[in-house]
Amino acid sequence: MQKFIIFACMNKQEFWKIIDASLKVSTQHKIRSQAITDLLSQYLPEQIIKFEVILRELITEADEYGVMAILKIMEGWVTDDSWIYFRCWLIGQGEQTFYETLKEPDSIANKVDKNTNFEFEELLYVATDAYKVKTNKTVEDDTFPRYIASEMGLEYDVLAPPTKGEEWESEDVPKICPNLWAKFNAD
């Protein structure tokens, strides 16, 4: 008999517990995303949808020019896709790192190095994968987490709200994150 763990609700606290649990499993994104999917598939379909909603809210919350400067320093460029995947990576670092970084972008300097993989694209698909497992549906329809979150206006791509904060020019980036700049440009 398969054992199911059903949790009372899905909220930000529960969301962060799932992220933290995946951090204990591995640092590799594919393994972590599978761990998140496995945990999430134990929830009710409505709770899996709420996970997707919270993920999208956090991706939007991190859509700030100060945070974008981090990616510019670490990768040397920012594209639409890399910006989304980087914010997923930031969420994947856990609640404390996420909020510390939003408050003070340069604080991330103590937690990264040049070998860090700053893209966690797989996080975008965990709710869909868990929903498929939970519902036994193989074809996405309008009941899936991504569809429902989009219908709620929670977009992180083309239709996303404008990036918050003060725009910067490339020459301003070292002033925004001086410690990170020094770490990634020291040769």
Residue 4 belongs to some domain of the structure: no
Quick check: is 1 in a domain?
Answer: no
**Residue 105 burial (CB < 10 Å; 0-12/13-18/19+)?**
buried
3: in domain: no
- Give the model's confidence band at 187: pLDDT under 50 very low, under 70 low, under 90 confident, else very high: low
Top-ranked range on mean pLDDT: pick from 32-36, 156-160, 166-170: 32-36
38 found inside a domain: yes
Range of the domain at 59: 12-182
Tens digit of each residue's pLDDT (9 = 90 or more) over 123-163: 999 999 999 999 999 999 998 999 989 888 888 876 778 89
Res 5 pLDDT > 50: no
- At residue 8 the predicted structure's pLDDT band, cuts being 50, 70 and 90, is low
Q: In this predicted model, what pLDDT tens digit does every residue of 43-96 receive, in sequence order?
A: 999 999 999 999 999 999 999 999 999 999 999 999 999 999 999 999 999 999
Does the residue 95 lie in any domain? yes
Does 6 reside within a domain? no
Q: What single letter denotes the amino acid at residue 132?
A: K
Is residue 159 situated within a structural domain?
yes
pLDDT at residue 86, rounded to an integer: 97
Q: Which residues contact 28 (CB under 8 A, 6 or more apart)?
A: none
Q: Is residue 187 part of a domain?
A: no
pTM value is 0.92
d(C-alpha 143, C-alpha 132), whole Å: 11
Q: State yes or no: pLDDT of 27 exceeds 90.
A: no
* Helix, strand, coil percentages, rounded to 5, for the chain: 65, 0, 35
Give how many domains the chain has, as a whole number. 1
Listed in sequence order, the residues at least 6 apart from 157 whose beta carbon sits closer than 8 Å to its beta carbon are 80, 84
